[in-house]
Structure 1
Amino acid sequence: MDEPRVTLYGRAGCHLCDEARTVIARVCADLGEEYVEVDIDADPELQRRFTDEVPVTFVDGRQHDFWRVSEDRLRAALA
């Protein structure tokens, strides 16, 4: 199986992360894509890198969005 095209970097208790997860899950389900979620607090380097920007979304290994996920932009990126 291929790697998921979408990665969501976030943390527990983050309401923006919860909103991003909802959008990402819906778009990925509609398009038959997979996504993976990474808890930045489990990795000190990720925590330093993203602490003020979560949630951060990557598509195909490149940063796509942070704080909010645009459903339209995500759909376009995965098309």
Structure 2
Amino acid sequence: MNLPADAAPSSIGSVPVEVITTPGCHLCIDGLAVVERVAGEHGVDWAELPLSSVPEGPERDRWSVEVPVLLIDGVQRDFWQIDPRRLTRLLRERNQG
């Protein structure tokens, strides 16, 4: 299930996979497509989380130059270009653990 950005959870870690994005980011569009496909194949819920909804602090500062940022269970696992093979491996490991 994909939650639209305007309905994104208010806190990090609300769904298993989250992608932090900013408006107009071409890498974000590409990353969202990868997450939608791979998470869908694994039956994993995911959501787009706008950077503007992330609380002020060092993570938000760092993520502002790393978008899109992939979080799995609230932990940063990838950024800039979401690698579908890496995401597949991470989701398989998550499901086994």
TM-score range, shorter chain: 0.7 to 0.9
What residue in structure 2 maps to residue 50 of structure 1? 63
Q: Provide the identity percentage.
A: 35
Equivalent position to 2:72, from 49, 59, 65: 59
CA shift for structure 1 position 48: 2.4
Instruction: Choose the corresponding residue for 1:22, options 24, 29, 33.
Output: 33
Q: How far apart, CA to CA, are the structure 2 residues paired with 1:41 and 1:11?
A: 8
TM-score, normalised relative to structure 1: 0.86
Alignment correspondent of 1:7: 18
Over the aligned positions, Cα root-mean-square deviation in angstroms equals 1.6
Q: Distance in 2 between matches of 1:77 and 1:54?
A: 19
- Work out the CA distance in 1 between the residues paired with 2:15 and 2:60: 22
Query: Structure 2: which 5+ residue stretches go unaligned?
Result: 1-13, 93-97
How many correspondences in the alignment?
A: 77
**Equivalents in 1 of 2:38, 2:47: separation in Å?**
13
Structure 1: give runs of 5+ residues left out of the alignment: none
Matched residue type, 1:66? F
Cα deviation digits, residues 45-74 of structure 1 (max 9, x gap): 164241111010011221100100010110
